[in-house]
Amino acid sequence: MSPAAGRPPAGAPITTVVFDLGGVLIDWDPRHLYRQLLATDEDVDRFLDEVGFVAWNHGVDAGASTWAEAVEALAADHPHHRELIAAYPARFAETLVGPIDGSVEVLHELAAQGTRLLALTNWSAETFPVARERFDFLHVFDAIVVSGEEGVAKPDAAVFWVLVDRHGLDPGATVFVDDRAANIDAAQDIGLVAVLFTSPQQLRSDLESVGVLRRP
């Protein structure tokens, strides 16, 4: 089991698995787009760092603004990068390379054995329809909580409580899978069994270890 994976209390079988999407089931990365627009990986990383891309993107994921508003605000601070900044929401589909196949295989195995499946994702309300249209496996989930639709994003505990309360979850009987340590810590703080995603192989091993995925 990975170091950040929580263990369920004795006598509390896991009934539900909650997946993050980007970085776990979907290969999302802004670099996929910006490698087409800039000459080198070093240029891409320099641009992302200079404009504070992570915080900027997180703000829209949390519903703080629309993409049009976010582009104008960031471009006002970095006018020489206006075209690159505007390219992100305009060409968002190009940040999604495809599914992470090994993880999707695990998802379908869980579905086949009758495990309840939910998703909790930090994603803009404006761009999430791109993923819904592209990835058929999203229909496997009973429901998907999208941060941009809720106005709050991981690792804020409030979005985890939206998930738990809306869907009647027992945190101790629920596994949460995410690729970011801060989100894992937040999940554990409210009592969820948390698994840090590093690879599909590790995911399979961790879910077998907590007793939710049957070993072949």
**Looking at residue 118, which CATH number applies to its domain?**
3.40.50.1000
Name the 3-class secondary structure at 193: strand
Query: Residue 13, preceding bond cis, omega within 30 degrees?
Result: no
**H runs (alpha helix) in the chain:** 30-34, 41-51, 53-61, 67-77, 82-90, 101-112, 128-134, 147-150, 157-166, 181-189, 200-209
142 and 76 part of one domain: no
Residues 120, 60 within the same domain: no
The verdict on 60 and 20 lying in the same domain is no
Q: Are residues 69 and 130 in the same domain?
A: no
Q: Is residue 3 part of a domain?
A: no
Are 171 and 146 within 8 A, CB to CB?
no
User: At which of 95, 120, 142 does a domain end?
Assistant: 95
Convert the pLDDT of each residue in 109-141 to its tens digit. Answer: 999 999 999 999 999 999 999 999 999 999 999
Quick one: 88 and 112 in the same domain?
no
Q: Can you give the pTM of this predicted structure?
A: 0.93
Residue 125 lies in a domain: yes
Number of domains the chain contains: 2
Q: Computed over its alpha carbons, how large is the radius of gyration of the chain?
A: 18
Distance CA 159, CA 111 (A): 24
One domain, residues 105 and 188: yes
Full domain range(s) for residue 81: 28-95
β-bridge partners, 195: 177
Are residues 188 and 150 located together in one domain of the fold? yes
Same domain? 20 vs 58:
no
Paired tokens of 24: 């776990």
Average pLDDT, the chain: 95
Residue 1 inside a domain? The answer is no
Q: Do 54 and 149 belong to one domain? A: no
Query: Are 148 and 42 within one domain?
Result: no
Q: What is the mean pLDDT of residues 62-86?
A: 98
C-beta atoms surrounding 143 within 10 Å:
13
| Residue 5 within a domain | no
Report the pLDDT averaged over residues 56-84: 98
| Token pair listed for 18 | 């909650």
First to last CA, the chain: 17
pLDDT greater than 70 at residue 9: no
Establish if 10 belongs to a structural domain.
no
CA distances from 124 to 64, 112, 141, 186 (A): 10, 30, 19, 20
- If asked whether residues 151 and 194 sit together in one domain, one would say yes
Give the Cα separation of 79 and 67 in Å (integer). Answer: 16
Among 42, 77, 95, where does a domain finish?
A: 95
Total residue length of the chain: 216
116 and 74 in one domain? no
At residue 216, the pLDDT reads 72
For 35-40, the CB contacts below 8 A with 24+ separation are 36/94, 37/84, 37/87, 38/84
Q: Which value, to the nearest 10 degrees, does the dihedral of the CA atoms of residues 180, 185, 186, 192 take? A: 110
pLDDT band per the 50, 70, 90 thresholds, residue 3: very low
In the block, which residue shows the tokens 């409030």? 158
% of the chain beyond a pLDDT of 90: 93
In a domain, residue 215? The reply is: no
Among 147, 135, 187, 180, residue whose Cα is nearest residue 25: 135
